[in-house]
Amino acid sequence: MRKKFIVVVLVPLLLLLILTYFFLDRWMEAGLEYAAEDFVGARVEIDQLSITYSPLGLRFTRLQVANPDDPWKNLFETGPVRFTMDASQLVRGKYIVETMEINDIILGTGRTTDGSLPGGRRPAPGPAGTPPFSALIQQVLEKSVEKTPLFDPALLRGQLNIDSLVRTQNFRTLTLIDTLRSGTTDASRGWDSTLASFEAGKKRLQEVETGIRAINPSELKTVDKIAAAITTVDDARKTVNDLTGTFNERQADLKGSLQKLSAAAGTIDESVGKDYRQVLSLARLPDVNAMGLAELLLGKQLLTKATMYSQWIDMARAEAAKYAPEPSMETPPRLRGQNIHFPVERGYPRYWIKNVKVSGGTDRQNPDFIYLTGTVRNVTSDQRVTGEPMTAELEGTRGSSMTMRIAALIDRRKDIPVDEYRAQATGIPLAAFELGKSDFLPAKITSALLGTNVTVTVPGSQFDATASLDFRNLRLEFNAEPRNLGERLARTVLSGVNGFDAGLRLWKKDAGVDVAFTTDLDDRFAGGIKAALGAELTKLQNEIRAKVEARIADKRREFEALYTRKRDEVQKQIDVYHNVIKEKTALLDGKKKELEARLEKEKKGALDNLMKGIFKK
């Protein structure tokens, strides 16, 4: 044994290990705080962290995470937190947390110290990607909700300049017609070359006809000559068949191309309809058939809330995407070798928290304190390995009357990620809830109980969100006297009820985000609008439609004339060539029959002569 080594190296190493054992808790605490601060962008404080060795794990008594936007408040703080890890997987560099308990989470508590980080240690913003849902909903909020229709017939007529409105619009139909026109011109070049090939075919058929007509069966005196003539007819028939086959193929191409153009031309009416509706919406004419009170009363408020909550969905999706498996890079330099993988009894991802038990809420001193409890399962770096989607289920109460339930499912097991979020709440007391808009029935709910049910499904880059709201024990306060027919009708409808149901649906289509609002009061409101404004509106709508169509008409006529002319030319040429083929085929068939009859006759004559010769002998 090398005593010097034991004294100089092993003994100090042992002392270092002992020292580490005693200080590891503090070092780990500092390291975790620093890493978390880098992630959050504000102070993170962990109290009394201790490492447990059997089973391997961590526990601490309190965690405070400061709010980076308001450093004198915490985003949240927790009570005791405890988790255990799978030590056998840790040596493989895999962090498998069997159970994590986070107790007494309290949101938004005050701080006694400043929670901002010195020297601007804030995380850099991530790279720009697809626009988040909150941004899409914000766009809808900006675009659709501020458009309040005009309800007053006098205002309708007075403020509406249909000519100017129609003149200044860039109609998509005009662009469509230009595209179709250039498409027809391009296609007609192809058709011309096909028709030119038909002409060449016609010449070839003419040559065949000349050759066949030159055969006169009555002049053919021997069987050999007749047989040779039949072979010539068969060859000609083969040529005609080849030309027919080519013709059929090209005819099918031509007809396909014509059908495509015809189908595209058929969308002009639909496009005119869209342009008309665009002008209609700019004219702010109310659509009496689909007049919804929900959009007017609740649209702005609901979309504002939806924008706020969608930021949470954005955050959940961003975090889930962050833990996507990294692509393996195959760059084996010298002395690196190749890793051979063997069957694993149980595959583990790099990171997997199997079960998180959470409980907590807001400050209990507050009589309206929120208390939530629930579990989050399968937070992992690779759901394809664990085979389990991430789920979260939280249930809670607020004060003594309100109950809530929140559930989420984040599934990354297939190529297209799917997220589902559900939230239910009952008995939400409303003391001050804004209704309407500055230009339509500004009002306030002074007292009501709200029940709500929200479901959001996010498959890939699409999404579909529905929310139902149930207002009961409703008391309303209107800020001003009604200024127009719409406000008067809405007020009449609302004053007769003490509650109503409202619905919101937001969904993403290829073209963008669409939104729809409903209430059980819509029919009554729409009926009133229809009775008061119906005739005047119909007249204005017809006028707008006529002017939109007139602006498009010239270009449309021009295109339709071009298309019809080209189509008829092509059809005519096809018919001519078809007839030529038919004619030549009939000629060939007739000639062949004639030759075969001649051959039969000649054969019979030769046989008779032979028999006569035999009997004479």
Partner 1 sequence: MFWLKIIKDFVAILREGQTPRQVAGGFMLGSIVGFSPVTTLQGLVVWLIILLFDVNLGAALLAFTLCGLCAYLLDPVFHLLGYQILTNIDALRPFWTMLYNAPVAPLTRFNNTVVMGSFVCALVLALPIYFGFKHLVIAYRKTIGARVEKMKIYQVIRHSGLVQWYLKLRDLGS
In the complex, least distance from residue 32 CB atom to partner 1, rounded to whole angstroms = 25
Question: Using the rule CB under 8 A, is 53 a contact of partner 1?
Answer: no
Cα–Cα dist 462/466, whole Å: 14
Instruction: Tell me which of 7, 9, 416, 550 binds partner 1, using CB under 8 A.
Output: 9
Q: Which three-class secondary structure state does DSSP give residue 84?
A: strand
Question: Using the rule CB under 8 A, is 339 a contact of partner 1?
Answer: yes
Nearer to partner 1, 6 or 586 (CB): 6
Q: Give the binding range for partner 1 (CB under 8 A) out of 322-330, 337-345, 464-472, 538-546.
A: 337-345
Binding mask 438-467 for partner 1 (x = CB under 8 A): ------------------------------
Question: Using the rule CB under 8 A, is 329 a contact of partner 1?
Answer: no
Instruction: Tell me which of 336, 509, 616, 617 binds partner 1, using CB under 8 A.
Output: 336
Instruction: Tell me which of 26, 92, 364, 601 binds partner 1, using CB under 8 A.
Output: 92
Instruction: Tell me which of 214, 335, 431, 480 binds partner 1, using CB under 8 A.
Output: 335
In the complex, least distance from residue 87 CB atom to partner 1, rounded to whole angstroms = 8
Nearer to partner 1, 56 or 223 (CB): 56
The token duo for 467 is 């929310």
Are 420 and 429 within 8 A, CB to CB?
no
Question: Using the rule CB under 8 A, is 128 a contact of partner 1?
Answer: no
Which residue type is seen at 210?
T
Question: Using the rule CB under 8 A, is 11 a contact of partner 1?
Answer: no
Q: How many residues bind partner 1 (CB under 8 A)?
A: 22
In the complex, least distance from residue 92 CB atom to partner 1, rounded to whole angstroms = 5
Cα–Cα dist 311/323, whole Å: 19
Q: Give the binding range for partner 1 (CB under 8 A) out of 170-178, 303-311, 331-339, 527-535.
A: 331-339
Q: Give the binding range for partner 1 (CB under 8 A) out of 308-316, 329-337, 427-435, 494-502.
A: 329-337
Which residue type is seen at 249?
E
Question: Using the rule CB under 8 A, is 13 a contact of partner 1?
Answer: no
In the complex, least distance from residue 10 CB atom to partner 1, rounded to whole angstroms = 8
Cα–Cα dist 550/564, whole Å: 21
Q: Give the binding range for partner 1 (CB under 8 A) out of 84-92, 128-136, 227-235, 315-323.
A: 84-92
Q: Which residues contact 185 (CB under 8 A, 6 or more apart)?
A: 562
Q: Give the binding range for partner 1 (CB under 8 A) out of 2-10, 130-138, 267-275, 536-544.
A: 2-10
Are 432 and 461 within 8 A, CB to CB?
no
Q: Give the binding range for partner 1 (CB under 8 A) out of 234-242, 342-350, 423-431, 510-518.
A: 342-350
Instruction: Tell me which of 128, 193, 329, 342 binds partner 1, using CB under 8 A.
Output: 342
Question: Using the rule CB under 8 A, is 341 a contact of partner 1?
Answer: yes
Question: Using the rule CB under 8 A, is 218 a contact of partner 1?
Answer: no
Question: Using the rule CB under 8 A, is 344 a contact of partner 1?
Answer: yes
Q: Which residues contact 33 (CB under 8 A, 6 or more apart)?
A: 44, 45, 46
DSSP annotation of 110 reads B
| Contacts (CB under 8 A) with partner 1, residues 20-49 | none
Question: Using the rule CB under 8 A, is 91 a contact of partner 1?
Answer: yes
Nearer to partner 1, 10 or 497 (CB): 10
Instruction: Tell me which of 126, 337, 496, 613 binds partner 1, using CB under 8 A.
Output: 337
Three-class SS of 438-453? CCEEEEEEEEEEEEEE
> CB 533: neighbour CB atoms within 10 A?
24
Helix (H) or strand (E) holding 78: strand 70-78
Helix (H) or strand (E) holding 183: helix 172-213
In the complex, least distance from residue 3 CB atom to partner 1, rounded to whole angstroms = 9
Instruction: Tell me which of 2, 203, 616, 617 binds partner 1, using CB under 8 A.
Output: 2
Nearer to partner 1, 10 or 553 (CB): 10
Which residue type is seen at 328?
S
The token duo for 15 is 């002392």
Instruction: Tell me which of 88, 113, 168, 542 binds partner 1, using CB under 8 A.
Output: 88
- The values of phi and psi at residue 253, to 5°, are -60, -45
Q: In Å, how far from its chain's centre is CA 340?
A: 41
Nearer to partner 1, 333 or 367 (CB): 333
Nearer to partner 1, 322 or 334 (CB): 334
State the Cα angle at 533 between 529 and 536, rounded to 5°: 160
Question: Using the rule CB under 8 A, is 51 a contact of partner 1?
Answer: no
The token duo for 386 is 């664990």
In the complex, least distance from residue 336 CB atom to partner 1, rounded to whole angstroms = 7
Cα–Cα dist 439/146, whole Å: 9
Cα–Cα dist 573/198, whole Å: 8
Kindly report whether the peptide bond that precedes residue 55 is cis, defined as omega within 30 degrees of 0. Answer: yes
In the complex, least distance from residue 94 CB atom to partner 1, rounded to whole angstroms = 10
Residue (of 87, 79, 11) closest to 51 by Cα position: 87
Are 573 and 251 within 8 A, CB to CB?
no
Q: Give the binding range for partner 1 (CB under 8 A) out of 140-148, 224-232, 340-348, 511-519.
A: 340-348
Question: Using the rule CB under 8 A, is 10 a contact of partner 1?
Answer: yes
The two beta strands, 351-361 and 95-107, are parallel
Nearer to partner 1, 56 or 282 (CB): 56
Q: Which residues contact 559 (CB under 8 A, 6 or more apart)?
A: 177, 180, 181, 184, 265
Question: Using the rule CB under 8 A, is 1 a contact of partner 1?
Answer: yes
The token duo for 568 is 């008829």
Q: Which three-class secondary structure state does DSSP give residue 529?
A: helix
Are 396 and 434 within 8 A, CB to CB?
no
Cα–Cα dist 257/204, whole Å: 26
Question: What residues make contact with partner 1 under the rule CB under 8 A?
Answer: 1-2, 5-6, 9-10, 87-88, 91-92, 334-345
